[in-house]
Chains A and B, each alone.
Chain A
């Protein structure tokens, strides 16, 4: 007996099927959340993303006019200040988000990759900030570069990552590290969408899962059955 060969699947079809299988539209952009998402601590993830967007926006304006602009014009200095304060806000929100997620043990239920991508994002954001500080072209940049080089040289990283090389540091700061941070944040958010927000700890078996008659569980795709 002979079988007809299976049709060859295109890479495009396979990519689409994998993506849509992992994240159907209703899961990618759900319009409802479990009822336990009921605390202000939950806004610090989106606040971190918002801060990242302000960082990138103000950074884009600074890069329009080049690295020396902000020293010589009021408008340039204004956008440099926004860039600096949005960085402070980013780390402020990210750390509070991290505290919240730790005390919720948000890695439970197969969500360890969510934690891992988040932790790596923080660890990549630190050199992203460092490359910014050494690209300021002022005294602070001179001091930070001549100090940071010792730590980096001691572990051999200084051999290919030279904090006193402004051109290299500016490239890392404007392109390479922001791309890395954005990619990590995207992976982190997609994983949260895939696994859902972590459920609360069970106090005891009786309250483990809500099976209330007044709140019917939604269909598998998580869409609330309401018409607009």
Chain B
């Protein structure tokens, strides 16, 4: 097999034919395990570990009923983040892409979610002994698609305006109000059809804890897949609010952080750095672009022995003189 003449060759490294000294590898391993175990116990005793309790849909709906109803209305209207996400949840968008690469679309819908049905209508159907609610659902289901969308969007609009005003620290309008005694949310909007009854029913179901259960066990009793409740909650503001308080948001370099003042995932520094700079920072396709960059860099990391320049840097920056100073001292003396 001929060697390519232009491929940079490694300067020959001679096999060691010099001296050996006793070195007890097994004892070293035992000592290392003992030391590391002790260090782990010491850090545990000093600092313990964080365990912030998870949010539930029940807590969300009780603590932030307007935010909950706003998210639910968008799920019904098909305008929420999840509803417009695309694969692997639905076909309502192509997802992210980089030039001609559309892997999100190509890998398809493997976890189908119809937000209107899965987050609103199906859970509402499980509510017993409420003919008004069931009749509202039937009326909604029987209507043409365009009418359904129009009803849901008409209901969602004042809620979106309310949330936008709060975000800009302005006084929200009077179209949305929460009854301090009953906790019921009233939305002043016209041409909303049966949507207000459905949303009120969903809020009651959520507050009782029934929605948490319904979202989880819709397919079968035993479940370990929390995709639906997590996606529904992430369409609202509660998780992001808690995250911001703990400096876990993307633009807070949150990927590296842990809740509380604990050290986090420092090894993710290079992954999160890209999200802080252009063009990734404001790109709609930030995730795929960052993943591609990191994919290339990871491959380069594996292939360092073959990359000219990078593989010869250790020779040129002689940190090795410090590491092997005893060897050089001994053998220069002999030479």
Contacts and interface: CB of A to CB of B under 8 A. Distances in A.
Q: Check A-B contact in the complex, CB < 8 A.
A: yes
A37 interface: yes
Interface string A34-66: 111111010100110111011001100000000
Contacts of B298: 123
Interface string B239-282: 10011000010100011001100010111100000000000000
Given A29-B25, A86-B36, A126-B267, A139 B259 contact: yes
Nearest to A160: B110
Nearest to A42: B323
Contacts of A105: 311, 314-315, 320
B32 A164 contact: no
Interface stretch (A7-15, A17-25, A172-180, A205-213): A205-213
A85 B23 contact: no
B227 A164 contact: yes
A129 B51 CA distance: 17
A35 B234 contact: no
A41 B314 CA distance: 15
B324 interface: yes
A155 B41 contact: no
A217 interface: yes
Question: Interface size class for chain B?
Answer: 35 or more
A211 B26 CA distance: 29
B221 interface: no
A69 interface: no
A120 B302 contact: yes
B326 A38 contact: yes
Interface in A101-152: 102-105, 107-109, 112, 115-116, 119-120, 123, 126, 129, 133, 136-143, 145-147, 150-151
B22 interface: yes
B210 interface: no
A71 interface: yes
A156 B106 contact: yes
A212 B54 contact: no
B224 interface: yes
A82 interface: yes
B87 interface: yes
Given A137-B54, A143-B239, A102 B224 contact: no
Contact of B40 (A54, A91, A95, A157): A54
Nearest to A112: B305
A81 to B, nearest CB: 4
A214 B125 CA distance: 88
Contacts of A139: 52-55, 239, 242, 259
Contacts of B314: 102-105, 201
Nearest to B228: A164
B20 A112 contact: no
Nearest to B292: A155
B104 A210 contact: no
Contact of B227 (A41, A85, A165): A165
Nearest to A33: B23
B328 A146 contact: no
Contact of B54 (A81, A138, A151): A138
8 contacts: A50-B29, A71-B51, A82-B41, A88-B263, A105-B315, A142-B55, A153-B87, A212-B19
Given A35-B20, A51-B40, A224-B20, 6 more contacts: A71-B51, A85-B40, A115-B305, A116-B305, A166-B225, A216-B19
Closest 6 CB pairs of A and B: A167-B224, A210-B18, A215-B19, A156-B107, A156-B103, A109-B13
Interface of A: 29-39, 41, 43, 46-47, 49-51, 53-54, 57-58, 70-71, 77-78, 80-82, 84-86, 88-89, 91, 95, 100, 102-105, 107-109, 112, 115-116, 119-120, 123, 126, 129, 133, 136-143, 145-147, 150-151, 153-160, 162, 164-168, 170, 196, 198-203, 206-212, 214-218, 222, 224, 226
